[in-house]
Amino acid sequence: MATPSIAGVIFSLVLALSYGALQAEARVFFVFGDSLVDSGNNNYLATTARADSPPYGIDYPTHRPTGRFSNGLNIPDLISQRIGSKPVLPYLSPELRGQRLLQGANFASAGIGILNDTGVQFINIIRMYRQLEYFQEYQRRARALIGVDQTERLVKGALVLITVGGNDFVNNYYLLPYSARSRQLSLPKYVGYLISEYRKILMKLYKLGTRRILVTGTGPMGCAPAELAMRGTNGGCSAELQRAASLYNPQLVGMIKGLNKKIGKTVFVAANTQQSHLDFISDPQAYGFTTSKIACCGQGPYNGLGLCTVSSDLCPNRNLYAFWDAFHPSEKANRLIVEKMFSGTTKYMDPMNLSTIMTLDAMA
């Protein structure tokens, strides 16, 4: 067996000591999910589900596209700011090594869902099973740097965000008028199936060592500008997609409560992103928006995925729009959502908000 070099041993020791200092300052952060939280993994894939060209990133600090499906910062970025961390890098980024690796990673990939057949039209995306495989690979890489015990503590003490489920409706069940899934299952049975499959994913995350997992529900899917245009009911949100959200989100919360009861402590926290979206969708002026029905890209042109293009009719002031493109909130809307995550009542965060979690965990 090869003997480790003195330089290699010293490097690992320095990283382990640096990790200890890092833990005292900031929280390790892991992100799983879809385009609402993807920070650029799809840039490294041969897929159509990507946001690596203008006007994406126009309000990001570099004013350049990063792969985030936003005009600026996305939800993981804003949570990172609040917990004292640097924005975690996409797992596929070549920059994710050394000290940056030990700050966490973002495994999310636009287009994915709970089910493996969701988003098949995007071809090459990181489905949930693969995101979890990458997380296992991440832990092996971390163990090589700081050892088994430190890696276990890193994962156990991390904050985890998972955002997935919306695509299972808009890019699967309702993708076509007579999709395979809609012919196979009624909507209530499909929702039940999604919940049972999601439960397996969440338990896998728990078994992989995570102990603080923030789980977001779907937003009001029928109120996204794309759905308003395609399926709007009497000029309002799509009644069918709103029905799907109203069936899915309460069952997700119930499933999360059941998992916590089974485990015997609060591991999973449910974020009612449907309500936080509905707040500014139903009364945009109260939150400083002029509209929640039209995206900043206006009427397009969009590509086939509802994304902005370089020729889109871009609004001059993104802060006046609740939606950036046909599906994704603007940075300002993301800030409102994250604020509810940290300060919201149990109407928004069940059983407690992130500020309470951070305080409790700091005392542990």
C-alpha separations of 172 from 87, 167, 272 in Å = 31, 7, 22
- Among the listed residues 38, 70, 276, 328, the single catalytic one is 328
Q: What are phi and psi of 233, to 5 degrees?
A: -105, 115
Nearest to 118 by CA among 57, 180, 44, 45: 180
Q: Yes or no: say if 115 and 172 are a contact pair by the CB < 8 Å rule.
A: yes
Respond yes or no: is residue 63 known to be catalytic: no
Residue 277 annotated as catalytic: no
Radius of gyration of the chain (CA): 20
Q: Which of 35, 85, 238, 276 is catalytic?
A: 35
Give one DSSP letter per residue of 203-245, joined into a string. Answer: HHHHHTT---EEEE----GGGSHHHHHHH-BTTBS-HHHHHHH
- Take residue 19 and report the two structure tokens written for it: 């990790």
Distance between CA atoms of residues 148 and 154, nearest Å? 10
Is residue 114 within 8 A of residue 131, CB to CB? The reply is no
Classify the C-alpha dihedral 101-54-48-273 as positive or negative: positive
Pick left, alpha or beta for residue 329 (phi over 0 → left; psi -120 to 50 → alpha; otherwise beta).
beta
Nearest-angstrom CA–CA distance, 208 and 199? 14
Which pairing describes strands 29-33 and 213-216: parallel, antiparallel, or unpaired? unpaired
Three-state SS for 318? helix
- Chain center to CA of 300: 25
DSSP letters of 109-121? -TT--SSTTTTGG
Q: Which of 34, 77, 325, 350 is catalytic?
A: 325
Catalytic residue flag (residue 35): yes
Closest CA to 8 of 98, 100, 140: 98
- 322 neighbors 291 (Cβ within 8 angstroms): yes
Catalytic residues: 35, 325, 328
